[in-house]
Amino acid sequence: MAVTGVLRPGFIQLRVLDMEAAVTHYVDRLGLNTVTTGPDGRVYLKAWDEFDHHSVILRKADNAGLDVMAFKVASEADLDTFAKRITAWGLAVDHVPEGEQPGLGRRIGCVLPSGHRIELYATIALSEKHPPIKNPDVWPEEPRGMKATRFDHALLYGPDIDKNLKFFQEALDFSLAEKIELPDGLLAIWLTCSNKAHDIAFVKHAEPGKFHHAAFFLETWMDIGHAADLMTRYNISIDIGPTRHGITRGQTIYFFDPSGNRNEVFAGGYMYYPDNPTRVWDENELGKGIFYYEKQLNERFLTVVT
Amino acid sequence: MTAHTVRVEDAAGVILCQPGETIVAAMERTAMLSFRTGKDQPRVAVGCRKGGCGVCRVQVLDGAYRALPMSRAHVSDDDRRDGYVLACCVVPESDLAVRLAPRLPVRPTTSTTDIHANR
């Protein structure tokens, strides 16, 4: 089955307390490229290996956290179809006109049962500094800092993740790649719309709309090591790592941006196909599922969110 | 510029902050030393260390300090007037006395109007 409908995570908009510190973090350290600053002060960024206009938006605010995560769909016709399907599923759909962000077409949006806003769009401009297309070199300019190749996925915390699961499966055709099932119900779900082990994930949490992390893909385990060196050299706040997840099998470091939003650099992870069974973790091996080498959760993983 | 001590109500020992250092940074840096010397050192919960998550919220009872940017979801303007701060964003400018202060309930999710600031 080809990837159709919802293609991939498109962009994420995060609130930051100090824009200058945030730009230093995301551009100089993580290695994203600056695209533009909007008239309202929002800063648009993209990773070196992404074709589209932007994938990360920083908005200065007096509190940290997630504004919205958006997914790209294959066509404008798909966008209309998803608007109908989301409404039929039972969520209110709103419309954001073309041009609300530079380079971006119209979007549809809704608020999930977990309290998070997601959006879908089909049209976005090709970036100026996109990966080469004709006789392509491996990169247009040598990657910088941690050399993040793309905005990869996000993990969000909120209530009613059972309903989120049904919504993503029934309205958006996502698959459940992996889950943590405790005696009192679902604790966490890893959802994919592609061949990646996850494109978005949720952990059950009392407060709605909370943000756990935005992940950026690195090419290798060696790059994870290089990222760790940079984090210590530049005194970046590390949560945990370098380590590995049992869930998704990704190699990872969790760390925080200068506003306390958690980031992840992520390498590896298995290929997912829609006919794969859902992998299941229970309370007996939960620690190994989250942190494969430590075999236990750190307190911060379950409690610290923005 | 001199080092300053931070006392935490109902906890033995002090955290010794070097000039320019936050309470949380000093506590984490000296935790191993405290372990080696056997001297007590107060503990403050450590989260993002950047003013976003709110787990290290304290109330300053006495002393002068400089505050770095911190989330108003956890410390409102009224809170600030009452001495509430996030310990990861507090740089002491004199010896300080603080009390651990559980974080406030987080306010509801930002509305669409807030997100699209230019509409």
Chain B residues with beta carbon closer than 8 angstroms to that of A304: 47-48, 53, 55
Q: Is the dihedral of CA A129, A134, A140, A146 positive or negative?
A: positive
Question: How many independent structural domains does chain A possess?
Answer: 2
Report strand pairing: B57-62 vs A210-217. unpaired
Q: Is residue A137 part of a domain?
A: no
Q: What is the mean pLDDT of residues A161-180?
A: 98
User: Does A218 share its domain with A117?
Assistant: no
Tell me what pLDDT residue B118 has. 35
Instruction: Tally A–B CB contacts below 8 A.
Output: 98
Q: What is the ipTM of this complex?
A: 0.90
Q: Residues 185 to 224 of A: which have CB under 8 A from any B CB?
A: 207-210
Residue B115: band (very low, low, confident or very high) from pLDDT cuts 50, 70, 90: very low
Q: What is the mean pLDDT of residues A25-30?
A: 98
User: Does A90 share its domain with A167?
Assistant: no
Active site residue A198: yes
Interface test with A, best of B89, B116, B119 (most A CBs within 10 A): B116
User: Does A30 share its domain with A68?
Assistant: yes
CB contact under 8 A, B69 and A259: yes
Instruction: Examine the pLDDT at B67 and tell me if it is beyond 90.
Output: yes
Q: Chain A within 8 Å of B113 (Cβ-Cβ)?
A: no
Q: Is residue A257 part of a domain?
A: yes
How far, in Å, CA of A274 to CA of A255, rounded? 31
Q: What is the mean pLDDT of residues A54-74?
A: 98
Residue B107: band (very low, low, confident or very high) from pLDDT cuts 50, 70, 90: very low
Å between A63 CA and nearest CA of chain B:
4
User: Does A36 share its domain with A159?
Assistant: no
Percent of chain A with pLDDT over 90: 96
- At A229-239, the pLDDT tens digits run 999 999 999 99
Is the Cβ–Cβ distance between A128 and A103 less than 8 Å?
A: no
CB contact under 8 A, A256 and B69: no
Query: Which residues lie below 8 Å from residue B18, measured CB to CB, with a gap of 6+?
Result: B3, B26
State the average pLDDT for chain B: 86
Query: Which residues lie below 8 Å from residue A8, measured CB to CB, with a gap of 6+?
Result: A71, A72, A193, A194, A196, A199
Range of A11's domain?
Answer: 6-121
User: Does A170 share its domain with A83?
Assistant: no
Q: Is residue A136 part of a domain?
A: no
Catalytic residue, from A53, A54, A116, A153: name it: A153
Residue B36: band (very low, low, confident or very high) from pLDDT cuts 50, 70, 90: confident
- At A242-297, the pLDDT tens digits run 999 999 999 999 999 999 999 999 999 999 999 999 999 999 999 999 999 999 98
Q: What is the architecture, at CATH level 2, of domain B4-104?
A: Roll (3.10)
- At A31-57, the pLDDT tens digits run 999 999 999 999 999 999 999 999 999
Q: What are the sequence ranges of the domains in chain B?
A: 4-104
- Provide the β-strand partners of residue A154: A200, A214
Does this model's pTM top 0.90? My answer is: yes
Å between B42 CA and nearest CA of chain A:
18
Is the Cβ–Cβ distance between A193 and A174 less than 8 Å?
A: yes
User: Does A104 share its domain with A228?
Assistant: no
CA A156 to chain centre: 9
Instruction: Examine the pLDDT at B117 and tell me if it is beyond 70.
Output: no
CA A127 to chain centre: 20
Active site residue A245: yes
- DSSP characters for A182-210? ETTEEEEEEEESSSBS-SEEEEE-SSTTE
DSSP 8-state code for residue A284: T
Residue B119: band (very low, low, confident or very high) from pLDDT cuts 50, 70, 90: very low
Q: What size, in residues, is chain B?
A: 119
Instruction: Examine the pLDDT at A300 and tell me if it is beyond 90.
Output: no
How far, in Å, CA of B88 to CA of B4, rounded? 15
Instruction: Examine the pLDDT at B31 and tell me if it is beyond 90.
Output: no
How far, in Å, CA of B58 to CA of A48, rounded? 41
Given A59, A116, A258, which is nearest B117 (Cβ)?
A59
Å between A40 CA and nearest CA of chain B:
6
Catalytic residue, from A25, A54, A264, A272: name it: A264
CATH at residue A214:
3.10.180.10
Chain B residues with beta carbon closer than 8 angstroms to that of A116: 109
How far, in Å, CA of B59 to CA of B48, rounded? 19
- DSSP characters for chain B? ---EEEEETT--S-EEEPTT--HHHHHHHHHHHHHHH---------S-SSSSS-TTEEEEEE--EEE----TTTS-HHHHHTTEEEGGGEEESS-EEEEE-PPPPPPPPPPHHHHSTT-
Q: Chain A within 8 Å of B48 (Cβ-Cβ)?
A: yes
Q: Chain A within 8 Å of B108 (Cβ-Cβ)?
A: yes
Report strand pairing: A210-217 vs A262-268. parallel
Strand ranges inside A94-149, DSSP E: 94-96, 107-111, 117-121
User: Does A70 share its domain with A185?
Assistant: no
Instruction: Examine the pLDDT at B6 and tell me if it is beyond 50.
Output: yes
Residue A303: band (very low, low, confident or very high) from pLDDT cuts 50, 70, 90: confident
Q: Tell me which residue of A173, A128, A167 sits closest to A6, measured CA to CA.
A: A173
User: Residue B87: what are its φ and ψ, rounded to 5°?
Assistant: -60, -25
Instruction: Examine the pLDDT at B112 and tell me if it is beyond 50.
Output: no
CA A281 to chain centre: 22
Q: What is the gyration radius of the CA atoms in chain B, in angstroms?
A: 16
Is the Cβ–Cβ distance between A58 and A106 less than 8 Å?
A: no
Active site residue A157: no
Residue B116: band (very low, low, confident or very high) from pLDDT cuts 50, 70, 90: very low
User: Does A11 share its domain with A108?
Assistant: yes
